Amino acid sequence: MSSAALASVSHVVRRYWAVALVVAGWQIWVSAAGLSSIVLPGPLAVLKDFAGDPLSYAEPAGRTFAVALAGLLLGFALGGGLAVLSWSSRILNGLLTPLGLIFTSIPVVTLIPIIARMLGYDVRTVIAIVALICFFPAFVYVGAGLRALPPGSDDLFRVFGGSRRQRFLRLVLPSSIPNLMLAFRLTAPEAVLAAVVAEFLMGTDGLGYMFRKAAGEFDTERALATSLIATITSVACFGLALAAERRVLRRWT
Amino acid sequence: MTSARSQSFVLGLIGVSLFLAAWEVIGTYRLAGLTWPPLSTVLAFLSTPARLPLFGRAAAASFTSVAIGYVCGGVGGLVLALASHLIAPVRPGLDRLVAVIHAIPSIALAPLLIVLASADATPPIISGLGVGYIFYVAATSGLATAGASHRDLFAVLGASRLSTALRLDLPSALPAIASAMKLSVPIAFIGAIIGEWFGASRGLGLLIVSAMQNFQIPLLWSAVLITAVASLSMFALFSLFERLVQERMR
Amino acid sequence: MPEKPAIRIDRVSKTFRLGDGRELTALTDIDLSIASGEFVALLGPSGCGKSTILRLVAALEAATAGRVTIEGRAPAELCQSHRLGVAFQDHALLPWLDIEANVALPFHLAGRPVDGARVRDLIALVGLTGFEKARPRQLSGGMRQRASIARALVLEPEVLLLDEPFGALDAVTRRQMNVELQRIWSRHRITTLLVTHSVDEALFLADRVVVMSGRPGRVILDLPAPFARPRAPSVMREPAFHDLVDQLTEALEPEGAHA
């Protein structure tokens, strides 16, 4: 084996030994205890189920991803928009700041049943729930970003006689971009998880529904494989958001 | 300055009042349909003496899960963070493990936990996993905040790795840990409630889900309100503590 | 002073309200005139209120008593008509714009079409040709300050305000930047107010050095720096320069430290 390959193997081992240990422990425990696959299948059985029919997971995963993305964008548009409004008016800012704080300090997930009841069991409801979950981080982070100007730049714009509009377009809005991207990275995986939970509760569509159906039919292998796909989707969304953030920050700072 | 602070306090109070008034008005005139009750209805429902035992039992069960999850998750997260700080080679592996566990949807964990532990142990475990994640992330970054000059000073004075960790790194990590204590409050509640959605025998989460399925609108809103107010109060308490720590550490 | 002053600071006092309700008197009864085309350096220990004077002239603060005028009018009017140039200790370059766009920013703020040739000339004048497309973070501290000075000059301002522009630089770079600024200024001769705590910098750059004492800030010495322009760095080795440095340094020493 070449030294480069050896280095990359040791790189992977250094990062994933703990995850591998947990998965191996799971398999050994299942085999040793002789658990039935309805109670708890081992990771190999789960993988085998997935490998047997990978395409059947693709469609629900795609739906969950699309719904999460739609909700994420909607939540960011509303949250970011309200942050801008609240920046432009001191009174509105004073009114909204404590509300924003209150809603970030309560478990918003518990509102899912209320929204489900209000809007009906529908894919639009899932989007609304994801949007609600993403709304508050977007509002709080973008709001903070609109006030985090580069040092001295505010004085500079005043001395150079920039108008309020120019100050907003050329200074305040660009300053909020790094915070916007940070909020995006933090909420992207949460959006997928929220979508899965909402789908599970309402039984509409996507990975959450697939999981619920499999669990209901005691098809534990399929249920766990669905979880695996949901985890991968969530991690992939985090990775995408992280890559987008790095790209934007390279351009922005 | 003081006038600006009192002004923003008054504005905030008006904002919250407007929110509560909007809740009442929307409910009274059914602007959002039949599933949005006025605040007064929810409060009246909550304060009916006959229902007190119901809410009391559910809240006691949920808050116990929250407390167990919070304490165990917090301690576990801190211990793991300290381990990965003191034993550098294990750090990348632990980072990945914690991130992967965090990325597993809690609804996927719940059935596993029901098999591995029991239905009533599931809420505190999910709660603890969420809290542990926040503590681990905050503490690992907090432990690394001590400045290079301080580190050099300790090295020159011949401090051991453990004594550097206890006398320099841990104190510098206190503000980050205080923030984690605050930020993990809603996470602890979310974990407990979601855990209860999967067949716990009692708790606010169970109440919420059964009220949703049976169209018991005031019950649904009441249970959500209790959860929100509890989380909010605990969050406010830890915010004060966080501010105290930050003042002390400045 | 023969001609009508460009900047008139007329018995100005400034008091700040602190958070706990106490008041802090930053300046008392400051009286200072700067002639058109004159370069005045304000010298003093940190916290003596010299930056407050600059911020009053920049319309970033309002005087508690007295009046600041530029050519007979309020400084805010000059800001509105985009005729002030400014550079701070913190370069205040926008991180998301390249150097060219940063230098061109005042054109946008004034609502004027960008004069590309003027931007390129100024970038060349401060010695940044070839770095037009670089980001601020890719440049050294000295280069960022050069860009910030080019930005201050790009609209041909009537008054140039410099608040410790080289305060964050190391001594060698700072001296080099002083030589550059002296060369650039000798070509434009804009009415300039420089705030600094470096005696050498004040004497080498300014026509007149005004020394302030701290808390509350007041003027304690007003000395001309009678060296012919353009000035070569060798000026700093002349005996006359050293004599003035000694005088200014002594004035800066806290009272009671002489004995």
Token pair recorded at residue C32: 């200072």
Nearest to C213 by CA among C257, C174, C175: C257
What is the arithmetic mean of pLDDT over C156-184? 88
Q: In angstroms, what separates the C-alpha of C111 from chain B's closest C-alpha?
A: 34
Query: With 60 as the cut, is the pLDDT of residue C259 above it?
Result: no
Residues in CB range of B236: below 8 A, 6 or more apart: A105
* Cβ contact C61:C218 at 8 Å: no
For chain A, say whether B11 makes contact (Cβ under 8 Å). yes
The pLDDT, as a whole number, for residue B147 is: 73
Q: Which residues of C81-101 are buried (b: 16+ CB within 10 A; e: fewer)?
A: ebbbbbbbbbbbbbbbbbbbb
Radius of gyration for chain A, computed over Cα atoms and rounded to the nearest angstrom: 23
Residues in CB range of B89: below 8 A, 6 or more apart: A14
Q: Which of the 8 DSSP states describes residue C73? A: B
Q: Which of residues 160-219 of B touch A (CB under 8 A)?
A: 185-187, 189-190, 193-194, 197, 205, 208-209, 211-212, 215, 217
Smallest Cβ–Cβ distance between A253 and the set C79, C95, C155 belongs to: C95
Nearest to C110 by CA among A155, A172, A157: A157
Q: Which residues of C touch B2 (CB under 8 A)?
A: 19, 21
Q: Which of the 8 DSSP states describes residue C193? A: E
Model confidence pLDDT, tens digit, residues B173-191 = 999 999 999 999 999 999 9
Q: In angstroms, what separates the C-alpha of B89 from chain C's closest C-alpha?
A: 33
Token pair recorded at residue A164: 């309020």
The pLDDT, as a whole number, for residue C42 is: 94
Q: Which residues of C196-208 are buried (b: 16+ CB within 10 A; e: fewer)?
A: bbbbbbbbbbbbb
What is the arithmetic mean of pLDDT over A123-147? 92
Residue B215 dihedral angles phi and psi, to the nearest 5°: 55, 30
Query: With 90 as the cut, is the pLDDT of residue A81 above it?
Result: yes
Confidence of residue C2 (pLDDT cuts 50, 70, 90): very low
Q: How many helices (H) and strands (E) does chain C have?
A: 8, 9
Query: What residue in C sits closest to B4 (Cα-Cα)?
Result: C19
CA–CA gap between residue C92 and residue C71 (Å, rounded):
27
* Cβ contact A227:A212 at 8 Å: no
Residues in CB range of A60: below 8 A, 6 or more apart: A205, A206, A207, A209, A210, A226, A229
Q: In angstroms, what separates the C-alpha of B12 from chain C's closest C-alpha?
A: 21
| Helices marked H in chain B | 2-28, 39-46, 52-86, 91-103, 106-116, 122-143, 148-156, 161-164, 170-196, 204-213, 217-249
CA–CA gap between residue C90 and residue C97 (Å, rounded):
16
Q: Which residues of C touch B1 (CB under 8 A)?
A: 17-21
Confidence of residue C258 (pLDDT cuts 50, 70, 90): very low
Q: Is C213 helix (H, G, I), strand (E, B) or coil?
A: strand
Query: What residue in C sits closest to A162 (Cα-Cα)?
Result: C109
Nearest to A147 by CA among A124, A121, A162, A168: A168
Token pair recorded at residue C10: 């007329």
CA–CA gap between residue B235 and residue B42 (Å, rounded):
23
Distances (CA, A) of C139 to A153, B224, C130: 18, 54, 12
Query: With 50 as the cut, is the pLDDT of residue A6 above it?
Result: yes
Q: In angstroms, what separates the C-alpha of C258 from chain A's closest C-alpha?
A: 38
Lowest mean pLDDT among A103-107, A138-142, B18-22: A103-107
| Helices marked H in chain C | 50-57, 75-80, 99-109, 116-125, 141-153, 171-188, 199-205, 239-252
Model confidence pLDDT, tens digit, residues A17-75 = 888 898 898 888 888 887 777 778 888 888 888 888 888 888 999 999 999 999 999 99
CA–CA gap between residue B184 and residue B138 (Å, rounded):
10
Query: What residue in B sits closest to A237 (Cα-Cα)?
Result: B103
C92–A152: do the CB atoms touch at under 8 Å?
yes
Token pair recorded at residue A160: 């150079």
Contact partners for chain A, using 3 or more CB pairs closer than 8 A, are: B, C
Distances (CA, A) of C114 to A157, C71, C109: 17, 27, 10
| Distance from the Cα of residue C130 to its chain's centroid | 27
Q: Is C185 helix (H, G, I), strand (E, B) or coil?
A: helix
Category of A55 on φ-ψ map: left (φ > 0), alpha (ψ -120 to 50) or beta: alpha
Q: Which residues of C touch B5 (CB under 8 A)?
A: none
Q: Which residues of C touch A156 (CB under 8 A)?
A: 86, 88, 92
Token pair recorded at residue B198: 């999967």
For chain B, say whether A16 makes contact (Cβ under 8 Å). yes
CA–CA gap between residue C91 and residue C145 (Å, rounded):
6
Model confidence pLDDT, tens digit, residues A175-202 = 999 999 999 988 998 899 899 988 988 8
Domains of chain B, earliest start first: 53-249 (1.10.3720.10)
Q: Which of residues 117-176 of A touch B (CB under 8 A)?
A: 117-118
Q: Which residue has the tokens 């002030």?
A: C84
Share of chain B above pLDDT 90, in %: 50
CA–CA gap between residue B91 and residue A152 (Å, rounded):
39
| Distance from the Cα of residue C259 to its chain's centroid | 34
CA–CA gap between residue B229 and residue B55 (Å, rounded):
14
SS (HEC) of chain A? CCHHHHHHHHHHHHHHHHHHHHHHHHHHHHHHHCCCCCCCCCHHHHHHHHHHCCHHHHHHHHHHHHHHHHHHHHHHHHHHHHHHHHHHCHHHHHHHHHHHHHHHCCCHHHHHHHHHHHHCCCHHHHHHHHHHHHHHHHHHHHHHHHHCCCCCHHHHHHHCCCCHHHHHHHHHHHHCHHHHHHHHHHHHHHHHHHHHHHHHHHCCCHHHHHHHHHHHCCCHHHHHHHHHHHHHHHHHHHHHHHHHHHHHHHHHC
ipTM confidence score = 0.84
Query: With 80 as the cut, is the pLDDT of residue C19 above it?
Result: no
Architecture of domain C1-83+193-259 in this structure: 3-Layer(aba) Sandwich (3.40)
For chain B, say whether C18 makes contact (Cβ under 8 Å). yes
Lowest mean pLDDT among A249-253, C201-205, C248-252: A249-253
The amino acid occupying position C87 is A
For chain A, say whether C81 makes contact (Cβ under 8 Å). yes
Token pair recorded at residue A58: 């693709």
Model confidence pLDDT, tens digit, residues A186-242 = 899 889 989 998 898 887 789 999 988 888 888 888 888 888 888 888 888 888 998
For chain B, say whether A18 makes contact (Cβ under 8 Å). yes
The pLDDT, as a whole number, for residue A67 is: 94
C92–A159: do the CB atoms touch at under 8 Å?
no
Q: In angstroms, what separates the C-alpha of C253 from chain A's closest C-alpha?
A: 30
Query: With 60 as the cut, is the pLDDT of residue C121 above it?
Result: yes
Token pair recorded at residue B185: 């409050």
- The tens-digit pLDDT sequence of chain B (250 residues) is 457 778 888 998 999 999 999 999 999 988 888 889 999 999 999 998 888 899 999 999 999 999 999 999 999 999 999 999 888 888 888 888 888 888 888 877 877 787 777 888 889 999 999 999 999 999 998 888 877 778 878 878 777 878 888 888 888 899 999 999 999 999 999 999 988 987 778 899 999 988 988 889 999 999 999 999 999 999 999 999 999 988 887 6
* Cβ contact A209:A64 at 8 Å: no
Query: What residue in C sits closest to B2 (Cα-Cα)?
Result: C19
Q: In angstroms, what separates the C-alpha of B2 from chain C's closest C-alpha?
A: 7
* Cβ contact C50:C217 at 8 Å: yes
The H or E element spanning position C87 is: strand C84-88
Q: Is C208 helix (H, G, I), strand (E, B) or coil?
A: strand
Smallest Cβ–Cβ distance between A95 and the set B18, B185, B217 belongs to: B18
For chain B, say whether C22 makes contact (Cβ under 8 Å). no
What is the arithmetic mean of pLDDT over C34-63? 89
Q: Which residues of A touch C55 (CB under 8 A)?
A: 155
What is the arithmetic mean of pLDDT over C156-167? 90
Q: Is C162 helix (H, G, I), strand (E, B) or coil?
A: strand
- What is the DSSP pairing of strand C208-213 with strand C84-88? unpaired
Radius of gyration for chain C, computed over Cα atoms and rounded to the nearest angstrom: 18
Model pTM?
0.83
| Distance from the Cα of residue B139 to its chain's centroid | 16
Nearest to C196 by CA among C252, C139, C155, C140: C252
B2–C18: do the CB atoms touch at under 8 Å?
no
The pLDDT, as a whole number, for residue B67 is: 96
For chain B, say whether C259 makes contact (Cβ under 8 Å). no
| Sign of CA pseudo-dihedral B20, B25, B27, B31 | negative
Measured distance between the N- and C-terminal CA atoms of chain A, rounded to whole angstroms: 41
For chain B, say whether C19 makes contact (Cβ under 8 Å). yes
Q: ∠ at Cα C200 (C194, C202), nearest 5°?
A: 20
A253–C91: do the CB atoms touch at under 8 Å?
no
A39–B93: do the CB atoms touch at under 8 Å?
no
C96–A170: do the CB atoms touch at under 8 Å?
no
Q: What is the mean pLDDT of chain A?
A: 88
Model confidence pLDDT, tens digit, residues C232-252 = 888 888 999 999 999 999 888
C18–B1: do the CB atoms touch at under 8 Å?
yes
B103–A238: do the CB atoms touch at under 8 Å?
yes
- Chain B and chain C share a number of CB contacts under 8 A equal to 7
The pLDDT, as a whole number, for residue C3 is: 57
